[in-house]
Structure 1
Amino acid sequence: MRIMPASEFNLSREVEYGSAEQNASVDQIVTDVRNEGDAALLRYTEEHDRMKLEAASLRVTQEEIQAAYQEVEDDFLVAIRAAADNIRAFHEKQKRNTWMDLQPDGTLLGQIIRPLRRVGVYVPGGKAAYPSSVLMNVIPAQVAGVPEIVMVTPPATGGEPGINPYILVTAAEAGVQEIYRVGGAQAVAALAYGTASIPPVDKITGPGNIYVALAKRAVFGVVDIDSIAGPSEIAVLADETADPGYVAADLLSQAEHDEMASAVLVTPSRQLGEAVAAEVERQLATLPREAIARKSIDSYGAVLLVDSLAEGVRVINQMAPEHLEVMTADPMQLLGSIENAGAIFLGPYSSEPVGDYFAGPNHILPTNGTARFSSPVNVDDFLKKSSLIHYSKEALMQNGEAIMTLARHEGLEGHARAIELRLRQERG
């Protein structure tokens, strides 16, 4: 693992979203599904997933879901139910209410908050399956009050058109009733535009590979999306009191996600940096996903040396990492200075997987430095807001001239006359 001054490291990591060929392929898939519906959806499923399906078999049956329960262990059910309770309790605190404000002159102003009607959740099912991501997408939407939540996930590549039983069971535990065995860019296009088998949605959330990310970007505007997620990131800000083994393990917890994942330690202690680098090598040797993690560490991992924790905080704020762990003698003291991070983990026992799976906050976080201006997935992502204006006669008579002045300064005489007509009529 490289050890270097923070000043020599490229803190603004820009990830290119797909090659020209990948973008062209996704554009073609999206166009075909939009124009041909189920026919294109089934064709691309056969081509990319090597699975020949009929339109009638796209939707997962209740019998399949019940059968999946026979394939999962009891301890998994206990764990996923406990995690769901924690996630729901956390997101319940984010709920917002419609409000109205009656002014003394009789004007009523307010904001009406309503849930989206129908949301689509994409769940990966290829190289890895993530039941926890089902909870992180579905539960905030449920708390927001979304009445229709539909899930898409790829069938097993080749062979039987099955779906990972842990994914199905988690979806059932979360209350998802509508599940389709389709993945990739074609699934995103189907959710956005609708087909005979899959009605369209208002928003698409959830992680996926580069083709899924590009498809979400392509359909944004037709529907809303949560984000275009990049590779996973973790930064650890630590001083000499940190345990090198803990730090190394947490860096590797993200490096094992993806060859492009980023794992960085920021510290004023060279001694800690060297110890962590040695621990990373030691732990890598027995990690089941060693090849992936090693490529990540070699390409995007580093120990960044700073003069002080204050400089370390400045480095962190510039990086705006997806996950930030603070392992210092007094992490709370630094919290007020940390401005940019998707999720902040304080202290030696707040390991990143605690947030990934169980604590309650959402693990779908901004990547690629976008924590500078965006937030984790939350209840607000599944709400829409309408402004309410009930202007009284008294208010219009008092403020009409000012409204006309502003309209005419913008060259919009029609706007001004709409007010002028009312003033003239009321004044006689």
Structure 2
Amino acid sequence: MNSESTRDTESLLKEANKSILFTTNRPNLVMEKGKGMYLWDTNGKKYLDFIGGWAVTSLGHCPEVILTALVQQSAKLINASPAFYNVPMIEFAKLLTDKSCFDKVFFASTGAEANEGAIKIARKYGAKFLNGAYEIITAIDSFHGRTLATMSATGKQKWESLFEPKVQGFKHVPQNDLIAIQKAVSANTCAIMLEPVQGEGGVFELEKNYIRSLRELCNEKNILLVFDEVQTGIGRTGKLFAYEHYGIEPDIMTLAKGIGGGYPLAALLTKEKFDIFEAGDQGGTYSSQPLGMAVGKAVVNEIIDKNLSKNAEKQGEYIRHQLVSIASKFKLTNIRGKGLLIAFDLPVEKGSKVVSECQKRGLLINSPRPAYIRLMPPLIVTFPEVDEMIAILSDVLTEVLSE
């Protein structure tokens, strides 16, 4: 270990504690650079990244296509204001609508913004066509963002008492419980908003028959079906969009995370008939800014051109197979997921300890709940990197579960 870099790390951490607002517990390390599947901290330690920026770095760290897009677009136009069209904005919108079942796009910077936009469309639709209906049904254990409205939509029990009074008009029901959601629909309901696979909730998938029944229910009641694909979209589940697995089409879809490959970018997509905003209803200073549009177009094109959705499917199957091969030894259960959004249950609530010990050995993973481990690596992951992950994880499980 280099003593000079150690002093630099210590001074950086001291400055961080002094000047950065506390929002989460972070380990005492500072990330400095990344390439492909790996990150390096300021001490030069290398980490195999199976978190991927929370499913954000879809092309891995510092991919050439993002660098090229940033350099080329920044030499032309960085921001012309949202009051004007720009070339990459139009090109990127066309790409997304051509590759999906949707007709119109609104661009934002975060998944929470995209979900706020979806909530606004649903309530505008309820006001115009459903006699003022405003309620939106979401799932228990769902996650839709950290603004007041999206926290209100989120079904996390520990958030119920935070920042009261929250935005009213959200009902939470158990996932995959058709009777519960049928009972929750009323004359005040304007939409049902769900994640096809709950990410922060622990990687739990909506059942195919349940989704199809919801589509029929929404058609019958003339309410909107909204898919939050912030974590599942753009190749993560083995298809470009998760809704493609189920043989139905939502009315609205939201995207973020992997769509920018690490650049802050999000999108709200909807069908033509729900293009109902009036001037001033929706906007954002950085909406559709050319730099982000160029990056997004480059990222999505790369995922399509390299067929990284297929790689996500193939590598995801391999990861689950490898986990099954060690499951009996470590009493792992409920190995689950789609594509490269995978989780499993530990026999004891030692998720944070497993994460910490893996980090010490140069592997980054996530524990969304005390007994859950979640894996969401970049879509470029290869078999040797999966083998490296399994080897480190096995060593850690041997140590932690024997304590």
Check whether TM > 0.5. Answer: no
TM-score by length of 1: 0.28
Structure with greater proportional helix content: 1
Which of 1 and 2 has greater Rg?
1
TM-score by length of 2: 0.29
